Amino acid sequence: MADFKPKIVAFLCNWCSYEGADKAGGQKLNYYAGIKIIRVMCSGRVDPYFVLKAFREGADGVMVLGCHPGDCHYRKGNISALKRMRLLEKMIVQFGVERERFMLDWISAGESEKFQKTAEKMTSRILNLGPLKLEGYVKRKAAQ
């Protein structure tokens, strides 16, 4: 397990969490390099399929970070994300993906330290879980 270098995909909204991650950069707050960020305009844009797609493409963990409830640039896109992701959390378990491999959280544009902490929390979670192992039917389908 010592060689395990988890791949973590993070979907960040343009207005809050992506800014928060940029601010973490500006303050040189280091975090694990395997966390790679994809920018979307709103966390509400994150189709649950994107999360499944990331797992299928080899991600060991997936994060969706949006604006705090009530602060969404698009008023309530993050609430749509919340509803969908709560359902998705239940679904991924059925695919053999541990629930802890997915994380939904809120990071404001100013919360650079929270971003760093959240990134580190996710990294240690995935390190504890080890590499994602898909099995049986799901494994066969994912390989296609």
Partner 1 sequence: MPGSKTGDKKTVLFLCKCSSNISNIVDFEEIKRWAGEKGDTNIAAVSNLLCAPDGKKFFSEVIKKKNVNNIIIAACSPKLHEKTFQDIAEKNNINMSRVRMANIREQCAWVTADKNEATEKAKSLINAAIKRSFLSEDLKRRTMKAYSDVLIIGGGIAGIETARTISKTGRKVYIVEKNITIGGSVMKTEDLAPSMECSPCLMAPILSDVRDDPNIEVLANAEITNILGFFGNFNVTIKEKPRYVEDNCIACEECFKVCPVSVKNEFHYSLGERKAIYTLFPGAVPASAVIDKNICKHFTDNSCDKCVSVCPFGSINFDQEEKTTAINAGSIVISTGFKPGDLAGFPELGHKSINDVYTTYELESLLSTNGPTGGKLKPDDEKIPASAAIIHCAGSMDSRGIPYCSSICCTHAVKAGEMLGKVYPAIRVFNIHNDLVFTDPEEHQFYKKQKAKGTTFIKCFDLSSIKITKTPDDEKIKISGYGFEPISVDIAVLATGFKPADDFKELAKIMDLALDKNGFFRPGHRILHTTASEQDGIYSAGCASKPVNAAAACTQAQAVAGDIMSRLIPGREIELEIFTSFIDEEKCAGCKMCIPACPFKSIYYDPERKISIINEALCRGCGTCTAACPSGSIFARHYTDNEINAEIEGILHG
Site residues, partner 1 (CB under 8 A) = 7, 9, 14, 18-19, 21-22, 24-26, 28-31, 33-34, 36-42, 44-50, 53-54, 57-59, 72-77, 80-81, 84
Find the shortest distance in angstroms from Cβ 80 to partner 1.
5
Find the shortest distance in angstroms from Cβ 98 to partner 1.
19
Find the shortest distance in angstroms from Cβ 97 to partner 1.
15
Closer residue to partner 1 in complex, CB, 64/90: 64
Q: Does residue 17 contact residue 140 with C-beta atoms inside 8 Å?
A: no
* CA dihedral (134, 84, 31, 100) positive or negative: negative
Closer residue to partner 1 in complex, CB, 57/98: 57
What backbone torsions phi and psi does residue 45 show, to the nearest 5 degrees?
-75, -20
Find the shortest distance in angstroms from Cβ 2 to partner 1.
16
